[in-house]
A and B are shown apart, each in its own frame.
Chain A
C-alpha cells in the first residue's frame, strides 16, 4: 500500500514538474523580452558596440571583450607564456620576456590605457604594466599582439602605471615598493629616508609607438600607488597617489596607516622635460631590457641598456608638489575637463576632490603646509575642490561620463556611487557583487567619455556563478548608465584579478584590424616564400627545417636523417593569404608548446628528439575537410647513425 502511495506521489511530482516546466518556459520567454536582456543581447551574427580591454591580472595577459554582450574575443599574451599560440615558447617571441633578471615568463598585468591624441582615444596602441618584475608593454591594435616590452629600472612593483599623457607624449611607470636606488645590501630597518620611489617617464614615438626611457624622477621612498595625467588646463601635469608616507617596512597594515593624510604627488612633466633638455639630471649606471617585436620579421629582439637619466625633484623648481589627501589614497582620477583630481582614501567614507585651479593658486601664492624631503606640501584646505559625502565605505576608483557625472567604486560597501562634479551630490548608488575594485566607462579616462555603460570589476565572486571548486574566475557587472539611475544589466566572468580596463567604440578599431600578414612582406630570416625553397640543413647537431604549410599539408612532410641529440628548429611559414586560416604545428614530445601560425607568418619552435623512432607531427587547428590528413613524419635515428638528411612531399 505504502508503495502505491509512494508511486502515486512520484507520478504527481513528475506531472507537476512537467506542467511547471511548461510554465517556466513561458516565464523565461517573458524574461527574454525584459529590457535588461534586450540591452545586452547581441543577436547571432551581429557585433558589439564597444571593445573592452580587461587586465588579466595574475594571468599576465590582456583579455578583449565585447560590450554590451560581455563575450570574450581574445586573450592577448603579454607577460606570460601562452602555449595556445606559442607566445614565449617560439624562438621569435622568447626575447619579449627577457629582463635584467633573465627570462621571466610571468607577470601580474595591471592597468590598460589606450593611446590618445588631443585627449581623445586614438585606438593605435594599448599600454599595460607588469607589476611584479617592473615592465611596460605596448600592444598594437592593428594586430592585437604585443609589440614591445620595456623594463623599468630602479623600480619594484610597477603599480602607478601605464597611463599616457593626452597626446601619448609619455607613458609612465611608478614604484609601489620603495627600494634602495641603486640597489644595495643594507638592513631593512634602515629603510626610512634611505629608499626611493622612482617615477619613470617613457617617451613614445608618435609614428611607431616605440618607448624610450626619457627620465626618472627619484622621489622620496613612499609607495606610489595609482596615477592619471592632467588634461585640458592641467595638461603637462601628472598625478600619483602615495601611501605609506610613514615609510614603514613591516606590519604595513598597521604601520602604513598611521598618518591621517598621505599625498597625491603632482609632477609638472613639461618642466622636467625642459630641465632635462637643458642638460639637467644625472646619468646613473643600471641595467634594463628593451624588447621590440618587428612585425615584418615576425621576430623580437632584446637590447640591454646600461644607463638611466635620473632627476632629483628638488633640483627642478616648480616641478613637484605634494597634495595632502586623507586616509591612504588609492585611485587618482582626473575628470574630462582636467579641473578635478579625485583622490580616493581607501580607509575613508568620503571622496576627496582637489581643484587644479586652486592647486595652481596655492603654488603661485606659496600656500604651503610644510615640506617632505624638500618637496613643498600644499595646504589641504587651499586646494580642496570638494568632498563627496557618499555614505559608502572604501572608495577606490572613479570614472566619468560626458555629462559631468563621476562614478566611484566602494570596495568595502560593494557599490558604485554616481555623483555630480562641482556640487558633489550623490545621485545614485547600486550594489556590486562583490567587493568591486576598478570600473571602466569606455573613454572614461579621457576628454571624451562614451557614457553608455560602466563595467564594474569585482574582486570576489562567491555565488555569482555555478561553483567550480575553491578557485573561481572573477565577476564583472555591466550597468546601463544612460539614464539618471544606473541599471544592472548582466554579469560576466573575467580572469582574476582584473586591474582596470580600457574601452572604446568598436568602429575605432574594427576597420584597422589586420586580417592576414602579406607573404611578400615577410622578412623573417627563415621564411620560405617559394615552396621550392623548402629544405633541411644541418650545422653540427643543429638542424634547421625550412617548412611551408597550406591547406592541408606540410612541405616537406617526410624528413629523415635526424638524430637523437639534435636540436631541430622548425621554421614554418603559413602560405595561406586568406582571413582566419591559421595552421598549427605540434610534434610529439616537444618540451615547449605548439605554434599557431597566422596566414603569411613564420614561426620557429625547437624540438630535441630523445628517442629513436618515426615520430609524427600534425596541424592543431582544424583547417579544412582534410585537416586530419595534415600530418607528417620525422625519422629519428641513433646519434651514431650516418643516414643522410632527406626530405620530401609526395613522390618527389
Chain B
C-alpha cells in the first residue's frame, strides 16, 4: 500500500520535472539580459507621415458627401470660425504648429473640404472607417479627436477659417 502511494508520488514528480524542463528551455532562449543585441541593418523605406500626405480626392466617411466651395472667402464666416476654433478646438490644436493634434494651417491644401468637415463632425466614425484618419490617430500617439458636438454650419465656418491659415 505504502508503495502504491510512493508510485503515485513518483508519477507526480515526473510530470513536474517534465514541466520544469520545458520552462528551462524557454528561459535559455530568452536570456538576453546584459548582452549586446546584434545590430540589424534595416532597409529604411521613406514613409511619408499621414499628416503630410496630400489626398485631394478622398472625401472621408461621414455626414458630408459633397460640398461646393466658392472661390471667394466669406469674411463673416471666417470670423465666426476663428471664434469657434478658439472655444472648442484650442485645448488640442494650435493654428500654426503641432500640439496634441495637427495644426490646421495648410490643411485645405492637403484634404478635401468634405474630409475636413467629416473629421470635425464625426471623428469616431472617421477613425473607424477612413484609413487616413486611422493613420493620423497613430501618428498623434493614439490621442483621439474629441467630438465637440458642432453643427454642420459651425464645421463649415471652421473650414472657411482654415482656408485663411
A364 at the interface (CB under 8 A from B): no
Q: Are B86 and A551 in contact (CB under 8 A)?
A: no
B63 within 8 A of A: no
Q: Does A581 contact B (CB under 8 A)?
A: yes
Q: Complex: how many Å from CA A58 to CA B99? A: 49
* Chain A residues within an 8 Å CB radius of B79: none
**A548: B residues at CB distance < 8 A:** 91
Residue contact B146 to A530, C-beta cutoff 8 Å:
no
Cβ < 8 Å to B, chain A residues 488-538: 516, 519-520, 529-532
Asked if B143 contacts A577 (CB within 8 A), the reply is no
Contact with B along A271-284 (1 / 0, CB 8 A): 00000000000000
Distance to closest chain A CB from B11 (angstroms): 12
Say whether A555 contacts B4, CB under 8 Å. Answer: no
B1-19 CB contact bits vs A (8 Å, 1 = yes)? Answer: 1001100100000000000
Known contacts A4-B4, A553-B100; A578 and B146 CB within 8 A of each other: yes
Chain B nearest CB, measured from A488 CB (Å): 43
Q: Which residue on A lies nearest to B123, using beta carbons? A: A578
**Interface residues of B: mostly helix, strand, loop or mixed?**
loop
B4–A532 CB distance below 8 A? no
What number of A-B contacts does a CB cutoff of 8 Å give?
A: 57
Q: With A and B bound together, what is the CA distance between A575 and B93 in angstroms?
A: 13
- With both chains docked as a complex, state the minimum distance between the C-beta of A460 and any C-beta of chain B, in angstroms: 48
Complex Cα distance, B147 from A516, in Å, reads 12
From known contacts A575-B91, A578-B149, infer whether A552 and B143 are also in contact, taking CB-CB under 8 Å.
yes
Q: Bound state CA distance, A3 and B147, in angstroms?
A: 69
A624 touches B143 (CB 8 A): yes
Residues in A neighbouring B147, C-beta threshold 8 A: 577-578
B47 on the interface (CB 8 Å rule)? no
Cα separation A7 to B1 with both chains bound (whole Å) = 12
Q: Which residue of B lies closest to A2 (CB)?
A: B1
Chain B: minimal CB distance from A470 (Å): 42
A551 touches B90 (CB 8 A): no
A519 to B91, CA, bound (A): 13
**Given A530-B86, A550-B91 in contact, is the A625-B144 Cβ separation under 8 Å?**
yes
Chain A 551-567 per-residue mask, 1 if CB under 8 angstroms from chain B, else 0: 11101000000000000
With A and B bound together, what is the CA distance between A548 and B147 in angstroms? 16
Rounded to whole angstroms, the CA-CA distance of A548 and B149 in the bound complex is 18
Residues of B near A581 (CB, < 8 A) are 146
Annotate B114-145 by CB proximity to A: 1 below 8 A, 0 otherwise: 00000000000000000000000000011110
* B143 A626 Cβ-Cβ under 8 A: yes
Contacts known (A520-B87, A532-B86); A3 close to B4, Cβ less than 8 A: yes
Shortest beta-carbon distance, B147 to chain A, in Å?
4
List residues of chain A with CB within 8 A of the CB of B57.
none
B10 to chain A, nearest CB (A): 15
A650 within 8 A of B: yes
B87 — which chain A residues lie within 8 A by C-beta?
519-520, 529-530
Of the candidates B1, B5, B100, the one having the most CB atoms from chain A within 10 angstroms of its own CB is B100
Contact indicator A531/B90 (Cβ below 8 Å): yes
In the bound assembly, the distance between CA atoms of A519 and B88 in angstroms comes to 9
Query: Chain A 621-634, CB within 8 Å of chain B: the 1/0 string?
Result: 00011100000000
Query: Using an 8 Å CB-CB cutoff, how does the interface string of A570-582 with B read, 1 for contact, 0 for none?
Result: 0000011110010
Say whether B149 contacts A516, CB under 8 Å.
yes
A624 touches B144 (CB 8 A): yes
Is the Cβ of B146 less than 8 Å from the Cβ of A531? Answer: no
How far apart sit A532 and B5, CA to CA, in the bound complex (Å)? 78
Known A577-B147, A578-B148; contact A626-B1, beta-carbon cutoff 8 A: no
Q: Is the CB of A530 within 8 A of B90?
A: yes
The size of the chain B interface, using a CB distance under 8 A, is 21
Centre residue among A3, A550, A555 by max chain B CB count within 10 A: A550
A187 interfacial by beta-carbon distance below 8 Å: no
Contact A3 B1 (CB under 8 A): yes
- Residue-wise interface mask of A (370-389) relative to B, using a CB-CB cutoff of 8 A (1 in contact, 0 not): 00000000000000000000
Does residue A19 face the partner (Cβ distance < 8 Å to B)? no
Distance of A532 Cα from B90 Cα, bound (Å): 8
Query: 1/0 per residue A1-28: CB within 8 Å of B?
Result: 1111001000000000000000000000
B92 within 8 A of A: yes
Q: How far is the CA of A7 from the CA of B92 in the complex (A)?
A: 68
List the A side residues contacting B90 at CB < 8 Å. Answer: 530-532
- A167 CA to B140 CA, complexed, in Å: 56
A581 and B100 CA atoms in complex are apart in Å by 18
Chain B residues near A650 (CB-CB < 8 A): 99
Chain A residues, Cβ within 8 Å of B4: 3-4
Within 84-110 of B, Cβ neighbours of A (below 8 Å) are at: 86-88, 90-92, 99-100
Instruction: Name the residue in A529, A531, A555 with the highest tally of chain B Cβ atoms < 10 Å from its Cβ.
Output: A531
Interface string of B59-98 (1 = CB under 8 A from A): 0000000000000000000000000001110111000000
B1 near A550 (CB under 8 angstroms)? no
Q: Which residues of the partner chain A approach B146 to less than 8 Å between Cβ atoms?
A: 550-551, 575-578, 581
Which residue of A is nearest B92, CB measured? A550
CA distance A576 to B100 in the complex (A): 15
CB distance from A435 to the nearest CB of B (A): 49
Name the distance in Å between B133's Cβ and chain A's nearest Cβ.
15
Interface residues of A in 615-652 (CB under 8 A from B): 624-626, 650
Bound: A550/B144 CA distance, A: 10
Distance between Cα atoms of A576 and B150 in the complex (Å): 11
B157–chain A nearest beta-carbon distance, Å: 14
Closest residue of chain B to A520 (Cβ to Cβ) is B87
Q: How far is the CA of A532 from the CA of B83 in the complex (A)?
A: 12
B91–A531 touching, CB < 8 Å: yes
Minimal Cβ-Cβ distance residue in B for A548: B91
Q: Which of B90, B148, B149 has the most CB of A within 10 A?
A: B149
Give, as a whole number of angstroms, the nearest-CB distance from A217 to chain B: 49
Instruction: Give the distance to chain B from A411, nearest Cβ to Cβ, in Å.
Output: 50
Contact A626 B142 (CB under 8 A): yes
- How many whole Å from B124's CB to the nearest CB in chain A? 9
Q: How far is the CA of A2 from the CA of B5 in the complex (A)?
A: 11
CA distance A259 to B105 in the complex (A): 86
Q: Which of B86, B91, B141, B143 has the most CB of A within 10 A?
A: B91
Q: In the bound complex, what is the Cα–Cα distance between A317 and B126 (angstroms)? A: 72
Known contacts A516-B149, A532-B90, A577-B88, A1 near B142 by CB under 8 Å: no
CB proximity to A under 8 Å, residues B37-68: none
The residue on B at minimum CB distance from A549 is: B91
The answer for the CA separation of A412 and B148 in the assembled complex, in Å, is 56
- Residue pairs across A and B with Cβ atoms less than 8 A apart, 25 shown, are A3-B4, A3-B5, A4-B4, A7-B8, A516-B149, A519-B87, A530-B87, A532-B90, A550-B91, A550-B92, A550-B146, A551-B144, A551-B146, A552-B143, A553-B91, A555-B91, A575-B88, A575-B91, A576-B148, A577-B146, A577-B148, A578-B147, A578-B148, A624-B144, A650-B99
Binding site for A on B (CB under 8 A): 1, 4-5, 8, 86-88, 90-92, 99-100, 141-144, 146-150
Give 4 A-B pairs besides A530-B87, A575-B146 with Cβ atoms closer than 8 angstroms.
Answer: A4-B1, A550-B91, A578-B149, A626-B141
Give 4 closest A-B pairs by Cβ, nearest first.
Answer: A577-B149, A550-B91, A578-B147, A625-B142
